[in-house]
Amino acid sequence: MTETPPVPGALSRVCGVVVTYQPDLGPLTAMLERIAPQVDDLVIVDNGSATDLSALATNFNATLKLLGDNFGIAHAQNVGIAMARERDADSVLLLDQDSLPAPDMVAKLIAAELKLRTDGKTVAAVGANYIDPRKGDTGCFPYRKGLRLKHRVNTGKETIVETDYLIASGSLTPMTVFDQVGDMVDELFIDYVDIEWGLRAREMGYISYGVFDAHMEHALGDDHIQFLWRRVPVHSAVRHYYQQRNAVWLIRQSWLPHIWTPILLFRMAYRLVFFTLAAPKRWTHSRMMLSGIWDGVRGRMGRV
Residue 163 CB partners (closer than 8 Å, separation 6+): 127, 141, 142, 143, 152, 198, 208, 209, 210
What does residue 108 show for φ and ψ, rounded to 5 degrees? Answer: -65, -40
pLDDT in tens, 94-105: 999 999 999 999
The structural domains of the chain, ordered by start, are: 14-217 (3.90.550.10), 223-298 (no CATH)
If 0-12 CB within 10 Å is exposed, 13-18 middle and 19+ buried, where does residue 296 land?
Answer: buried
pLDDT in tens, 186-203: 999 999 999 999 999 999
Quick one: CA dihedral 60, 183, 90, 117, positive or negative? positive
Give dist(CA 196, CA 200) in Å, integer.
Answer: 6
Q: Is the pTM of this model over 0.95?
A: no
Give the 3-state DSSP-derived string for the chain, with helices as H, strands as E and coil as C.
CCCCCCCCCCCCCEEEEEEECCCCHHHHHHHHHHHHHHCCEEEEEECCCCCCCHHHHHHCCCEEEECCCCCCHHHHHHHHHHHHHHCCCCEEEEEECCCEECCCHHHHHHHHHHHHHHCCCCEEEEEEEEECCCCCCECCEEEEECCEEEEECCCCCCCEEEECCCCCCCEEEEHHHHHHHCCCCHHHCCCCHHHHHHHHHHHCCCEEEEEEEEEEECCCCCEEEEECCEEEEECCHHHHHHHHHHHHHHHCCCCCCCCHHHHHHHHHHHHHHHHHHHCCCHHHHHHHHHHHHHHHHHCCCCCC
pLDDT in tens, 216-231: 998 765 565 655 555 6
What confidence score (pLDDT) does residue 165 get?
A: 97
pLDDT in tens, 126-166: 999 998 776 656 667 999 999 999 999 888 889 999 999 99
Count of positions (residues) in the chain: 304
pLDDT in tens, 221-257: 556 565 555 566 677 999 999 999 999 999 999 999 9
Average pLDDT over residues 47-62: 96
